[in-house]
Amino acid sequence: MLESLTKWSRVKSPWVCHLNTGGCNGCDIETLAALMPRFDIERFGILLKGTPRHADVLLCCGPITRQMKNRAVRIYEQMPDPKFVIAIGSCACSGDVFWGCYNVLGGIDKAIPVNVYIPGCPPRPDAIIHGVVKLLGDLDPSYNQLLEELKRKNEIHVSGE
Amino acid sequence: MAVTIPIGPQHPALKEPINLTVTVDGETIVDIGVRLGYNHRGIEKAGELGNYIQDIYLTARICGICSHIHSTTFCQGVEELLGLEVPKRGLYIRTLVCELERIHSHLLWLGVAGHELGFDTLFMYSWRDREIVMDLLEIISGNRVNYGMNTIGGVRRNITDEMKPQILKGIQQLKERTEYYLGVASTEVTFLRRTEGVGLLPKEKAIELCACGPTARGSGVEYDVRRDDPYAAYPYLDFKVVTSDLGDVLGRTVVRVLEVIESCKMCRQIIEELPEGEFRTKAPRKVPAGEVVSKTEAPRGELLHYIRSNGTDHPERLKVRTPTLANITSVLHCLKGGYIADIPIVFAAIDPCMACMDRIMILDSENRNRKEKQAISWEELRKYSMKWYSDRYQSPSPLKGEARRV
Amino acid sequence: MSVASDVENKLKETFGEQILKVRIPRERRIFVRIPLPKVKEVIDYLKQSFGMVHITTITAVDVGEDIEVLYHFFCQGVTISLSTFVPKTNPVLDTITPVMPGAILYEREIQDLLGLKVKDHPDPRRLILPDDWEEGVYPLRKDYKVEVKEG
């Protein structure tokens, strides 16, 4: 009973925390733009939180730098279980242009486990919405219908599908 | 007695990783240290390893907000080394994207400043209107952020006649909205109360600490690379350098909002006077040995790239100096003596861009050897607070920073 | 007469043989090469006679045996780049922070990335690289090779 209640609330209102692990800011501003009136990610109940202790989902932007690695792990550990990580942008997925830079370790998955990868430099806000809804679809299959609906209404564009 | 509070690297008030070590006495900041480097990637070394074409895209990814200005600075430096004459149409298109980028960056800043002041309505409004300029950039370049417009010898995409009316319409809308924000910034009581007299940077100090961009112009220093060291199409454009003598957060806000209006005028002029002809020339792969200093005015201030070539297809040394680094000494000066609650807005007022700056990092504190007592008993705290308040209200000269908040 | 050539003439008048090389590649740019011990003096002189107070940055380049240090200033619409050579065997140079307060961070930057030692710097601690960076390794020197990681 309690389990289904927590699952319901988690799926209906996932709280996210945003973390820049060394990126160029491009993905950060697109993530913020997704929260703004035009794209309005809040209609899925998604709320931006300042502290990882309140968050279910960690939005990571940028490659992981040497200095940031331990901090990212600490922030990840502060989140309550079950926790999810979304890597936003090509850098967060693999390191991208910063691959081979002496202070960059690579993608976010070098430090913490990642659930969803959103490639793009930077991904458009609708791609970010797509990624988040896909994560919700993993938690509750009924969200896959929402995804279909969004695609039909042309609110998100999926290339290669 | 001083208490040290660490803020960041992950903190609700900060959008990017930075660590502030704030020493406070009551609520007044007596000392502040900054630890950066959470964003340090090693781009200058990577620039030496890639070839010139790769480096255009690498420099564009120094910062996602001002990506075009970074690649512009790099490209015009390489063009100078090559002795390449860029077609006038290419320069105009390059300048147009520069100015649109400035508009997008300043509107973004205005929203973030509103957010830091607890004025989220302004945040939502200005970010909504920012979508207009994002659409324009998408029409021109095909992407919302990281446009990839520049190449050595010009730009990669042309502006067609169908685009022109769309751009003019968007610019007109933006101009009207920005004029509305100017009204907000100069009359709205919430805004004025939180910005007037906060984070004061006197003109002499701004010159001494080598501040640049809107931070310096908000303190009355008339320095703008676009006018003082013109590049691209700026010699052909009419524009004013906006300054304010206020020297506080309000001054910096007004400068940025007025700059958006100036930028709108420039964009209109560029579209109307766009020369015909080619928009790029072919550039050789190898660059003769030499050195060049390339300077531009980024949305945040003066940007410098130093490029040294060695006759091959990759640079010998690429040095990038970003405006945030120049302004960080000024912001530390502004914060001292202020209130702890003002940290987010004073810090935001220089429009810090950690991604730009954090190719390097800083740790700064002048009086580190002061004895800091971290844990105190309740009784000690009570005595201390009584003393603090009696000092504050009875002495004829209140603590620095008190006078302005009555 | 342009400001750049004015700077050139005045410097040659005052310092004579000490000004090793002057190059004016284009309008509003001037590169001046001076010997290491004269740096402070030249900066002081330019500050007094041209009102040069704005330092943009300090660049250091590894040129083999030496490290070339370039100070980029801006005054009266001209970007003045003073360059000097510091030998790698004794990479020590004097601080200019007392004359140019804005230079404090740039001096710390070159200290970390190229292993120069800035004498009498007000705050010479390590500042640029991660906490766990090895001592004596300077990433922007040419002998530092970036290892290509797996993948």
Q: Which residues of C touch B209 (CB under 8 A)?
A: 101-102
Q: How many CB pairs under 8 A join B and C?
A: 96
Phi, psi of B306 (to 5 degrees): -110, 120
pLDDT digits (tens, 9 = 90+) for C37-63: 888 888 889 888 888 788 888 888 888
Count CB atoms within 10 A of the CB of residue A45: 14
- B293 at the C interface (CB within 8 A)? yes
DSSP 8-state symbol, B85: P
DSSP per position, B6-48: EE-SS-TT-SS--EEEEEEETTEEEEEEEE--TT---HHHHHH
Q: How far is B19 from chain C (nearest CA, A)?
A: 13
Do C88 and C61 form a contact (C-beta atoms < 8 A)?
no
Count CB atoms within 10 A of the CB of residue B140: 22
On average, the pLDDT of chain C sits at 84
Instruction: List, run by run, the mean pLDDT of 10-residue segments along chain A (161 residues).
Output: 74 83 83 85 81 86 84 86 88 82 84 89 87 81 74 62 40
Which residue in A29, A118, A126 has the most chain B C-beta atoms within 10 A of its own C-beta, making it the best mutation to test that interface? A29
Q: How far is B155 from chain C (nearest CA, A)?
A: 23
Return the C-alpha torsion angle C7, C13, C18, C22, nearest 10. Answer: 40
CA A148 to CA A130: how far, in whole Å? 10
- Return the partners of chain B (3 or more C-beta pairs < 8 Å): A, C
Q: Is A77 exposed, middle or buried (0-12, 13-18, 19+ CB in 10 A)?
A: exposed
pLDDT digits (tens, 9 = 90+) for C106-122: 888 888 888 888 888 87
Q: Which residues of B touch A124 (CB under 8 A)?
A: 144
pLDDT at B167: 93
User: In the structure, how many helices (H) and strands (E) does chain C have?
Assistant: 3, 7
Pick from B210, B293, B329: CB nearest C81: B293
**Rg, C-alpha atoms of chain A:** 15
Pick from A26, A67, A97: CB nearest B58: A97
Q: Which of C131, A101, C61 is nearest to B42 (CA)?
A: A101
pLDDT at B364: 27
E strand intervals along A7-93: 15-20, 47-49, 57-61, 64-65, 84-88
pLDDT at B8: 64
Q: Length of chain C, please?
A: 151
Q: Which residue of A has its CA nearest to C145?
A: A102
Q: Which residues of A touch B145 (CB under 8 A)?
A: 26, 29-30, 122
Bridge partners (DSSP) listed for residue A18: A59
Which residue in B38, B308, B317 has the most chain C C-beta atoms within 10 A of its own C-beta, making it the best mutation to test that interface? B317
pLDDT at B73: 92
CA A71 to CA A56: how far, in whole Å? 18
Do B56 and B315 form a contact (C-beta atoms < 8 A)?
no
Q: How many CB pairs under 8 A join A and C?
A: 18
Q: Which residues of C touch A102 (CB under 8 A)?
A: 139, 144, 146
Q: Which residues of B touch A27 (CB under 8 A)?
A: 64
- A70 at the C interface (CB within 8 A)? no
Q: Longest Cα pair distance anywhere in chain A, in angstroms?
A: 51
Q: At what angle do helices B67-82 and B52-60 cross, to 10 degrees?
A: 150
DSSP per position, A71-130: HHHHHHHHSPSS-EEEEESHHHHH-GGGTT-TTEEESGGGTS--SEEE-SSSPPHHHHHH
Q: How far is A52 from chain B (nearest CA, A)?
A: 9
Q: Which residues of B touch A96 (CB under 8 A)?
A: 61
pLDDT digits (tens, 9 = 90+) for B313-329: 889 888 888 888 888 88
- Return the partners of chain C (3 or more C-beta pairs < 8 Å): A, B
pLDDT at B94: 92
pLDDT digits (tens, 9 = 90+) for A60-103: 888 888 878 888 888 888 888 788 899 998 888 888 788 777 78
**Rg, C-alpha atoms of chain B:** 23
Q: Which ipTM value was assigned to this complex?
A: 0.90
- The 3-state DSSP class for residue C61 equals strand
Task: Please give the structure tokens belonging to residue B130.
Answer: 């920012």
Do B56 and B74 form a contact (C-beta atoms < 8 A)?
yes
CA C115 to CA B42: how far, in whole Å? 16
pLDDT at B259: 92
Bin B199: left if φ > 0, else alpha if -120 < ψ < 50, else beta.
left
Q: Is the peptide bond before A82 cis (omega within 30 degrees of 0)?
A: yes
Bridge partners (DSSP) listed for residue C55: C73
- B207 at the C interface (CB within 8 A)? yes
Q: Using pLDDT thresholds of 50, 70 and 90, give the confidence band for residue C1.
A: low
Q: Which residue of B has its CA nearest to C140?
A: B45
Q: Which amino acid is at B124?
A: M
Pick from C55, C81, C105: CB nearest B362: C105
Q: Which residue of B has its CA nearest to A60?
A: B16
Q: Which residues of B touch A75 (CB under 8 A)?
A: 10
Low-confidence ranges of chain B (pLDDT < 50): 358-376, 396-406
Q: How far is A148 from chain B (nearest CA, A)?
A: 25
pLDDT digits (tens, 9 = 90+) for C6-20: 888 888 888 888 888
The answer to whether the Cα torsion of C138, C143, C149, C151 is positive or negative is positive
Q: How many CB pairs under 8 A join A and B?
A: 122
Looking at chain A, the whole-number percentage of residues with pLDDT higher than 90 is: 4
Q: Is C24 exposed, middle or buried (0-12, 13-18, 19+ CB in 10 A)?
A: middle
DSSP 8-state symbol, B341: G
pLDDT at B264: 93
pLDDT at A155: 66
pTM for the whole thing? 0.85
Phi, psi of A76 (to 5 degrees): -60, -40
- With an 8 Å Cβ cutoff, are A36 and B67 in contact? no
Q: Which residues of A touch C149 (CB under 8 A)?
A: 100, 106
Residues 101 to 140 of C: which have CB under 8 A from any B CB? Answer: 101-106, 108-109, 112-113, 123, 125-130, 139-140
DSSP per position, B119-132: -HHHHHHHHHHHHH
Q: How far is A4 from chain B (nearest CA, A)?
A: 31
Pick from C130, C131, C144: CB nearest A103: C130
**Rg, C-alpha atoms of chain C:** 17
Count CB atoms within 10 A of the CB of residue A5: 9
Q: Which residues of A touch B361 (CB under 8 A)?
A: 67
- With an 8 Å Cβ cutoff, are A102 and C146 in contact? yes
- C14 at the B interface (CB within 8 A)? no
Q: Which residue of B has its CA nearest to C25?
A: B292
- With an 8 Å Cβ cutoff, are C146 and A66 in contact? no
Q: At what angle do helices C39-50 and C3-15 cross, to 10 degrees?
A: 130
Q: Which of B161, B83, B96, B184 is nearest to B133 (CA)?
A: B96
Residues of A near B (Cβ–Cβ under 8 Å) read 18-30, 32-33, 36-38, 50-52, 62-63, 65, 67-68, 71, 75, 96-98, 100-104, 121-122, 124
Pick from B207, B228, B290: CB nearest C53: B207
